Structure 1
């Protein structure tokens, strides 16, 4: 899937689904993208992956899928270096104010609209199309702001309204912890999510989240999320390994 296709589908409200990868081996994004996901997230916030790993993992993603990189923080230097690797999208954690969202967008744009530095890299065919890419200013890039703090929920309408923010993303673990109920998707969490979904609808900004089980996929879709990341490589490996061991123990009669 081209960069433009992913952005176009999100903007139109078409069904879009992704998969989350944390492991450094490029075989992981390669094999999950072949399953037919529209995009694959390459996480660098909670992983040891460096830029070299991100570059290889983006190249490994099947042409029918798009690569989205989550950076560790809303840092223009980190964002700039990831963008030079030519992902279809970039996700920033812990966006809590409209000003932070403005800074995020500015970090993804070339001057005079932004502050992104200009250099030859994969994003401009290694220098062959620098002028064209600067002129386009990464118009096809998907910019995703994560809402996972109480302040982010308070300011979510203003964040969603920032020009250049293409989507919001609820981080269930961090947001539930922020409202004092980690892992408990009860009233406080539901109230926070409802505010995010309402803001996204008002500002015509799609809202996504992460599901770690089939039940969560169903729950988030029914709740009204516009897109869902359906699975995490580490958790799927853990669950698969635990299930295989349990099956063997059952077959041996609990020996």
Structure 2
């Protein structure tokens, strides 16, 4: 992150993103798994809707489960800070999708394939209430089903985090300018998509990929994060200078734990 990054006053998940947080990725549309991930003292849990079979009902259930793990009420808390924030990755940078996931009470939203300043501005506007943006106002779970609408409206723009994904060479070239879009809180490099776009899929130690990551980290005015799918990647990404990480995926945790148990059992029989 560029040392010249802005220092405007923010709260909620927007503030969390500036404190080197770590979180988990939820690819399973299960509130139970969401609650278990949140119970690990993670700073946030990302609910995926791009590459996961997660519809709006499941998104709201997952957000509610993360809140439950924090001891929050039946509706989102517009004033307090949850221990673990529920963040939703939308399937596309579309203002209708964005306002619907934020209505569930999510603390932040992530958009894939943000390649230009115009796309970043459209993303941020969708997540901000007027006059700063275009998010529609309604009495939904985020505002206690309308009972806290005045307070939520007054504070949401300062608290709801926005994360733009860098997944193409075009986005890398524009990363510095994208990161300086007003009220954009963070970038997240999608390693699989970016390496594929650069022609070196999965080769995260390839000079082309490493150079792209270094460009994003060096030029960004906001925190830059990424997704790890193994403990080795957690260490490697830290070495590359990322400011925050998603340290693993629920499906990966399940598979690695199951395999480790089987291997331990079979070793004990030899």
Other-structure match for 1:227: 244
Q: Does 1:41 align with 2:58?
A: no
> Could you list the per-position Cα deviations for residues 68-90 of structure 1 after superposition, in whole angstroms to 9, with x for gaps in the alignment?
11110001000010010111110
Cα offset, 1:212, TM superposition: 1.0
Other-structure match for 1:110: 129
Cα offset, 1:250, TM superposition: 4.0
> Could you list the per-position Cα deviations for residues 39-97 of structure 1 after superposition, in whole angstroms to 9, with x for gaps in the alignment?
11111111111111111111111222111111100010000100101111100011000
Other-structure match for 1:71: 90
Task: Tell me, yes or no, if the aligned pair for 2:14 and 2:158 is still in contact at 8 Å.
Answer: no
Unmatched segments (≥5 aa) in structure 2: 1-9, 71-82
Cα offset, 1:137, TM superposition: 4.6
Once structures 1 and 2 are overlaid, which stretch shifts more, 103-112 or 146-155? 103-112
Kindly report which structure 2 residues correspond to 1:157-236, keeping only aligned pairs within 5 A, or say none: 157-185=176-204, 186-200=206-220, 203=221, 205-236=222-253
| Cα distance between partner residues in 2 of 1:192 and 1:16 | 22
Cα offset, 1:239, TM superposition: 2.2
Which of residues 249, 257, 269 is equivalent to 1:240? 257
Task: Tell me, yes or no, if the aligned pair for 2:34 and 2:45 is still in contact at 8 Å.
Answer: yes
Other-structure match for 2:17: 10
Corresponding residue pairs, total? 246
Give TM-score scaled by structure 1 length.
0.91
| Cα distance between partner residues in 2 of 1:4 and 1:54 | 23
1 or 2 for the larger relative contact order (CA 8 Å, sep ≥6)?
2
Unmatched segments (≥5 aa) in structure 1: none
Which of residues 87, 98, 122 is equivalent to 2:106? 87
Cα offset, 1:243, TM superposition: 3.1
| Cα distance between partner residues in 2 of 1:133 and 1:60 | 20
| Cα distance between partner residues in 2 of 1:10 and 1:118 | 25
| Cα distance between partner residues in 2 of 1:65 and 1:238 | 24
Cα offset, 1:175, TM superposition: 0.7
Task: Tell me, yes or no, if the aligned pair for 2:17 and 2:223 is still in contact at 8 Å.
Answer: yes
Cα offset, 1:182, TM superposition: 0.9
Cα offset, 1:249, TM superposition: 4.1
Distance of aligned partners of 1:239 and 1:133 in 2 relative to their CA distance in 1, 3 Å threshold? same
Other-structure match for 1:119: 138
| Cα distance between partner residues in 2 of 1:60 and 1:135 | 25
Cα offset, 1:214, TM superposition: 1.1
| Cα distance between partner residues in 2 of 1:218 and 1:79 | 32
Say what the alpha-carbon RMSD is for the aligned residues: 1.6
3-state SS of paired residue (2:17): helix
